[in-house]
Structure 1
Amino acid sequence: MSDALINGLAGAGGGIIAQTITFPLQTVNTRQQTERDERRNEGTIEQMYQVVKREGWNRLYGGLTPSLVGTAVSQGVYYYFYQIFRNRVEATALERKIRGIGDGSVGMLSSLAVAALAGCTNVLLTNPIWVVVTRMQTHTKKTQPGNAPTIDSEGAVLVKKEQLPFGTSNAIQEIYDEAGLWGFWKGVFPTLIMVSNPSIQFMLYETMLKKLKERRSLNKKSGVTITALEIFLLGALAKLGATVVTYPLLVVKSRLQAKQTTGGDKTRHYKGTLDAIMKMIHYEGLYGFYKGMNTKIVQSVLAAAILFMVKEEIVTVVRRVLVKESKHGGLKR
C-alpha cells in the first residue's frame, strides 16, 4: 500500500470522526453566517437550544449524511494528492542536494504550494457536496395544512400542520431548479481562495511539528516520539491561526450557497462573489464578515485537532501492521 493511499484513507477516517463530533456546532455556525437579522444576537449555546426547541434535535444534524460523504471524499482526495505532490517536491529537493544545491529539505514556500495544489484539486471535485450540505444546514422546517382538520370543544376548526420533508434529494432538486448544474459550484471562487486556509494550517502544523521533533532529537532522554496529545495541540494551534485569517471568505461562501431571496429584497440576493462582498459591506459593515466567528473557532479548532490526532494514529497503526506482515512474509519464504 502506497504512502499516499495510507494518508488518504487515514485522513478520511479522521475527518469522519471529527465531523460527526462537531457537526452541531457547524450547523449553528452556518446559520449564524447566513443570518441577516441584526436584532438576533444569540450565543452559540442559546442558538443550539432554539434550534432544538423549534425544530427538534435532528435539525442540528441536518445534512450530516452528505457531510460525512463529503468529509470522507474531501479528506481522502486532499491527503492523497497532498502526499503525491509532497513526494515529488521532496524528490526534487533531494536531486538538488545531490547537485550541490540546498540541503535536501522542503522549504516553507514549497510546503505552501503543495498544500494549495492539493486544496484546489479537492475544491473543484467536492464543491457540489458542500453546496448541498450548506443548503440542508440553513433550511428551516416548513409546515403545510394536514388532510384531516379537527373541531375543538367550542366548535372551532383546527387545521393540523404537517412538517414538509427536506432531505438530500430535496436539496439537490432545489439547487438544480434555481441555477441548473452551475448551482452546485456556487461559492467555488471564494472557496478556491480559501485554499489558503488549509495551506496556512498545514504550513503552521508541519513547521511546529518539525521544530518539536528537532528539539526532541537534541534531548536524547525524551526521544523523538510525539504523543497524540501533542499532535492534538499542534493541530488546534495551526487551525486557529488559519481560521482567523480566512474567516470572511467562509462567510461569503456560505451566503452564496444558502437559499437566496428572489423577491423584492435585493439586499438578500447575491449575483456573485463581488456582489456579495459589496452588499455585505454596504448593508452590514465589516461585522457581517465575522458573524459566528467564535463558534467557528471552537468547531474548526476542535475538528482539526481531532482529525490530526486520529489521522496520525491510523497512519502509525497501518504502517506497523504492514511492517509486521512484511516481516512474517519474509520469514515464511
Structure 2
Amino acid sequence: MANSNALANGLAGASAGIVAQIITYPLQTVNTRQQTERLDKKKKKPPPSSTLSQILQVLRIEGLGGLYSGLKPSLLGTAASQGVYYYFYQVFKNKAEAIAIARKLKGRGDGTVGMLSWLVVAAIAGTFNVLLTNPIWVLVTRMQTHTQAERNIIARKKLALLRDASESNSGGPTLQEQLAALDSLKPRPYGTLHAAHEVYKEAGIFGFWKGIIPTLIMVCNPSIQFMIYESSLKKLKARRSANKQSSNVTALEVFLLGALAKLGATVTTYPLLVVKSRLQAKQEIGENKSLRYSGTVDAIVKMLRHEGIPSFYKGMSTKIVQSVFAASLLFMVKEEVVKAYIVLGQRSKKYLPKLNT
C-alpha cells in the first residue's frame, strides 16, 4: 500500500510538473538569461528592463520559439525530476510517519512528524533527484542561453573589426560591409543533441554534472519549501478539526499554501541558483576570461570581484513570479491527480469483486 501511495505521488508529481512547466516556461527562459548575463561593475551598465519588455524583445527577435527554447528536454527533465522527487519523498515520508507512530506507542511524541524530520525527508529525496537529473538541466540551460551566447560572440567580432579599422583593407570588403554581414548572421540551429555534443566536447562526461555542488546545496530549497507547506497544511487541518470542521482542503487553499512555501524557499536560496545557471551556461556569454568560470568557488569569487553582491540576485523578481506560480500550480494539480487516483482505486476495489462473481 505504501509503495502504491509513493507511485501515485510520483506520477501525480510528474503530471503536475509538466503542466506547470509549459505554462511558466517563457518566464523561466527570460530568468535564465538574466542570471547568466555577465556585466563588469567597472563598465557602464545598461538601464534595467522589465521582464515583460524582455519577453517582447525575445518575441520580436527570435519569435515564440525563442521563449520555448529547450522546452523538450525541459519537459523530460520536469517529468523525471518531479517523478523521482515525489516518489522518494513519499517513500521516506511514509517511513518518517511510521517512526513517529512507533515513538508515540512507546510514550514519546504525539505521533506526528516534526519540522526537522520534514527537512531530512525532503533533503534525501532532493539529493536523489539532483544526482539523477542534473544532465538534463545542463542541456536545458545551454539551449535557453544559446542565442545570448551567439550575440555576445558576434559583438566581440564587431569590436575586433572596429579596433582593426585603421589597418589597410584594400582589395577586401569595407568595414561597413563586414559589420553588415555580422548583423545579418542568425544563431545557428541548436537542438538537444547539438547541446549534448558541445557539453561533452568541452568537459567530457563530467560536463553533464556542471553546477552539481550548488545544485546539491540547493536541495535545501525544496526542503524549506516542503517544511513550510507541510507545517502550514498540518496547522490548517488541526484548526479545522478543533472547530469540528472537515479537514479536507480545497484546490485554492493548496495553491495558496504552495505559493507561500515556494516564496520562502526561493528568496532564501536564489544566489545558489544564479551560480548554478552560470556554471551550466555556455561560457562564451562572458565578455572575457575574467567573467568565465572553472568551478563553483571560482564563480563566486569572480562574481563578487567583477559584479558585486547584486549579481547574485539578478532576475530574482522574475524567478519569484515564475517559481511561485509554477509551484502553486504543481501542488494544486498534484493533489487533484492523487485524489482522482484514490477515487479510481476505491471504485476498482468496489466493482472488481462483482465482475469476478
TM over 0.5: yes
1:179 aligns with 2:194: no
Q: Structure 1: give runs of 5+ residues left out of the alignment.
A: 145-155
**Corresponding residue for residue 341 of structure 2:** 318
Distance in 1 between residues matched to 2:38 and 2:50, nearest whole Å: 15
1:294 aligns with 2:317: yes
Preserved CA contact (<8 Å) 2:73 2:139: yes
Cα gap change, 1:264/1:75 in structure 2, threshold over 3 Å: closer, same or farther?
A: closer
Distance in 1 between residues matched to 2:66 and 2:124, nearest whole Å: 35
**Corresponding residue for residue 193 of structure 2:** 169
**Corresponding residue for residue 90 of structure 2:** 83
Q: Structure 2: give runs of 5+ residues left out of the alignment.
A: 40-44, 155-176
Preserved CA contact (<8 Å) 2:35 2:274: yes
Cα gap change, 1:223/1:264 in structure 2, threshold over 3 Å: closer, same or farther?
A: closer
Deviation at 1:162, TM superposition (A): 6.1
| Aligned 1:1-333 pairs, distance under 5 A | 2-37=4-39, 38-39=45-46, 41-140=48-147, 164-220=188-244, 222-261=245-284, 265-332=288-355, 333=357
Deviation at 1:331, TM superposition (A): 3.9
SS at match of 1:140: helix
SS at match of 1:316: helix
Amino acid in the other structure paired with 2:197: Q
Deviation at 1:40, TM superposition (A): 5.1
Distance in 1 between residues matched to 2:259 and 2:228, nearest whole Å: 10
Cα gap change, 1:249/1:162 in structure 2, threshold over 3 Å: closer, same or farther?
A: closer
Choose between structure 1 and 2 for higher RCO, CA contacts under 8 A separated by at least 6 residues.
2
Cα gap change, 1:277/1:209 in structure 2, threshold over 3 Å: closer, same or farther?
A: same
Preserved CA contact (<8 Å) 2:127 2:216: yes
Deviation at 1:121, TM superposition (A): 0.5
Per the normalisation by structure 2, the TM-score is 0.86
Amino acid in the other structure paired with 1:240: L
Amino acid in the other structure paired with 1:127: N
Distance in 2 between residues matched to 1:256 and 1:164, nearest whole Å: 22
Distance in 1 between residues matched to 2:137 and 2:87, nearest whole Å: 19
Distance in 2 between residues matched to 1:17 and 1:263, nearest whole Å: 33
How many pairs are equivalent? Answer: 321
CA-to-aligned-CA distance 1:57-107 (integer Å, 9 cap, x gap): 101000000000000000000000001111111111222222222222111
Distance in 1 between residues matched to 2:187 and 2:257, nearest whole Å: 44
Cα gap change, 1:247/1:162 in structure 2, threshold over 3 Å: closer, same or farther?
A: closer
Deviation at 1:330, TM superposition (A): 3.3
Preserved CA contact (<8 Å) 1:51 1:60: yes
CA-to-aligned-CA distance 1:269-323 (integer Å, 9 cap, x gap): 1111011001111111110000000000000000000000000000001101100
Distance in 2 between residues matched to 1:50 and 1:127, nearest whole Å: 30
Per the normalisation by structure 1, the TM-score is 0.92
Identify the structure with the greater helix proportion.
Answer: 2
Preserved CA contact (<8 Å) 1:261 1:268: no
Q: Following TM superposition, where does structure 1 have runs of at least 4 consecutive aligned residues deviating by more than 4 angstroms?
A: 141-144, 158-163
Amino acid in the other structure paired with 1:242: A
Deviation at 1:52, TM superposition (A): 1.3
Cα gap change, 1:204/1:262 in structure 2, threshold over 3 Å: closer, same or farther?
A: closer
Q: Please, which moves more after superposition, 110-119 or 264-273?
A: 264-273
Distance in 2 between residues matched to 1:280 and 1:5, nearest whole Å: 42
Q: Please, which moves more after superposition, 76-85 or 254-263?
A: 254-263
Identity fraction in percent: 63
Deviation at 1:192, TM superposition (A): 0.3
SS at match of 2:256: helix
CA-to-aligned-CA distance 1:18-73 (integer Å, 9 cap, x gap): 00000000000000000113325221011111111112210100000000000000
SS at match of 1:171: helix
**Corresponding residue for residue 153 of structure 1:** none
Cα gap change, 1:316/1:198 in structure 2, threshold over 3 Å: closer, same or farther?
A: same
Preserved CA contact (<8 Å) 1:13 1:72: yes
Distance in 2 between residues matched to 1:91 and 1:169, nearest whole Å: 45
**Corresponding residue for residue 147 of structure 1:** none
